[in-house]
Structure 1
Amino acid sequence: MNKQQIIDAYDILASHYEHSVDYESPYNTEYERPAMVDQLPSSMKGIHVLDAGCAAGWYTEQFLNRGANVTAIDVSSEMVAATKRRIGKKAEVYQLDFENALPFADSTYDCIVSSLALHYIADWNRTFAEFVRLLKPGGTFLFSVHHPTMDIHFSENKEYFKREFLHDRWKKSGKYVDMYFYRRPLQDIINDTLHHFEIEKMIEPIPTEEFRRNYPSSYEKLLKQPSFLIIKAKKKRF
C-alpha cells in the first residue's frame, strides 16, 4: 500500500505543482533548484537527459531551454499530464515507476537528474543499478533528497540508523495532504550511491539572498539545520 499512498498524494498535489510551486515555494525556487542547476552546464546541447521524477516538469523545461534532449518520467499520471501541458511535444514524457525496470536501452543517457524523488523509493540499490545501465560511461547522476538531519524529526522513535516509512501532512492551497516517504541515515545514502557510482560532490545547499530577504527566520533555520542534500555522482568508466 505504501507506493499507492505516495502516488495518490502526488496526484492530488499535481495542480499545486503546476500552478503554484514555481512562485510560492521558496524551498524549491530559492533553495533546492538553484543548487541543483548550478551543477549542470549552462549549455546542454546534444546532451541526453533523463528527468527521473519530473513532477510538473520544471526541470524538464530547464533542460530543454539549455538545449538538451530530454526524457521525463513520473509515477503520477497527473504529474505526467502537467508536464505535457508545460512542454508540449518538446520531450518524451512517460508515466513510469523508476523503482522498476525502465523500457530504455543501455547507455542511452549522458545525465540522469532526480529532484526530491528518491526518498519515496524503498530500495535504492535496484533503482541505482537501473540508472547505471541507462547511463553512458562517465555519465552524470545528480539527485536531491531529504537531509537525514531534517527528516529524523518525523520519526516517532528517533531511531536514526533504521530506514523508516514516515508520514507528514502538507498544507497546500488551503487543504492538508497526507504525505509518506522513507528516511534513511546518511551512511546509507552515501554507501548505496558509492556501491554503484563514483561520488564527485556532496552539497548541503545554502538558500539564496532572495530567500534571506523574504523569509529571514526560515533562512536562519536552514543555516542551522539543512532540509535537503544533493549528491553529484558519475558512472564508472570500467
Structure 2
Amino acid sequence: MEYKGSSVYDQTDFLKNYMTRRNRSDSPNNAIEGPIMYELIGSFQDSSILDLGCGDASFGKELLQLGAKNYTGIEGSKQMVEVARSNILKQNGTIHLETMESYNYPQEAFDLVTSRFAIHYVSDINRLFQEVHKTLKENGKFVFSIQHPLTTSSFASKESGDKRGNWIVDDYFHEGERKEPW
C-alpha cells in the first residue's frame, strides 16, 4: 500500500516500528542529523519556534527544556500527534493536527522555523518557503534537513531485509517524485 507523507504514521504497526528505529541512539537522526541541526540553529533561548512535521515532538521537548520560549508543532498524523502532545505535556508547547500545506501560517510570529526530514514530502516547495518567510519575524531563521537522494536512489539494495547490504545508486540523478516502499 502507498502512503503519502504523514498518513503512514497512522498505521499502528508502522508507528511502533518507526519509533523503535527512530529512538535508537545510533539512528541517523540522533547520531548525525540532530547535532548538525543544533549547530545550524545556534542560540534559540527565549525564541518562539515552529516545527514543521514535528513527529513525536521530542525535538520540541528538548528545545523547551533548553530555554525556548514556546514551541508549536505541526503534524499530519493523528497517532503521531497523540504521542507529540504527551511528550510536551505541561510545557509551553502546542501541537496542531495539520499538514505543512494546510497550516494557516500567522504573519511574523516565529523566531525560528525548523523541519527535520519532513519537507521532502511537500509537493509545492516554493509555496511552503513563501509561507515560512511570511511567518518568520525579522531576522528569523529557517533550519531544515531533507532526506538525501542516495537513500531513495534504489530499493534493490534493501531486498535482503531491513538493513542495506550495499548502496546501489542507479536512480540518483532522476528528478521528480520518489516512491518509497514503506
> What RMSD, in angstroms, separates the aligned Cα atoms of the two structures?
2.6
2:74 is matched with which residue?
73
Query: What does the per-residue CA deviation read over 1:145-184, in whole Å, with 9 as the maximum and x for residues that have no partner?
Result: 112344333599837252123122xxxxxxxxx2xxxxxx
Question: What SS does the corresponding residue of 2:154 show, helix, strand or coil?
Answer: helix
Shift of 1:103: 2.7
1:133 is matched with which residue?
134
Shift of 1:14: 3.3
Q: What 5-or-longer segments of structure 1 have no aligned partner? A: 169-177, 179-238
Shift of 1:32: 1.2
User: 5 Å matches for 1:113-152?
Assistant: 113-152=114-153
| 1:21–1:153 Cα change, 3 Å | same
Distance 1:20 1:150 in 2: 16
Distance 2:101 2:155 in 1: 23
Q: What 5-or-longer segments of structure 2 have no aligned partner? A: 157-168
Question: What SS does the corresponding residue of 2:73 show, helix, strand or coil?
Answer: strand
Structure 1 counterpart of 2:100, one-letter code? F
Distance 2:110 2:65 in 1: 18
- Bigger fraction of residues in strand: 1
TM-score normalized by structure 2?
Answer: 0.79
Q: What number of residue pairs does the alignment pair up? A: 166
2:42 is matched with which residue?
41
1:112 is matched with which residue?
113
Conserved? CA contact 1:49–1:112, under 8 Å:
yes
| 1:21–1:157 Cα change, 3 Å | closer
Query: What does the per-residue CA deviation read over 1:127-161, in whole Å, with 9 as the maximum and x for residues that have no partner?
Result: 11111110112211001011234433359983725
Structure 1 counterpart of 2:121, one-letter code? Y
Distance 1:159 1:31 in 2: 21
Distance 2:120 2:149 in 1: 10
TM-score normalized by structure 1?
Answer: 0.62
2:28 is matched with which residue?
27
Q: Which moved more, 1:20-29 or 1:45-54?
A: 20-29
Question: Percent same amino acid at aligned positions?
Answer: 27
Conserved? CA contact 2:150–2:172, under 8 Å:
no
Find the partner of 2:171 among 153, 158, 175. 158
Shift of 1:28: 1.6
Shift of 1:33: 1.1
Please list every run of at least 4 consecutive aligned residues from structure 1 whose deviation after the TM superposition is greater than 6 angstroms: none
1:95 is matched with which residue?
97
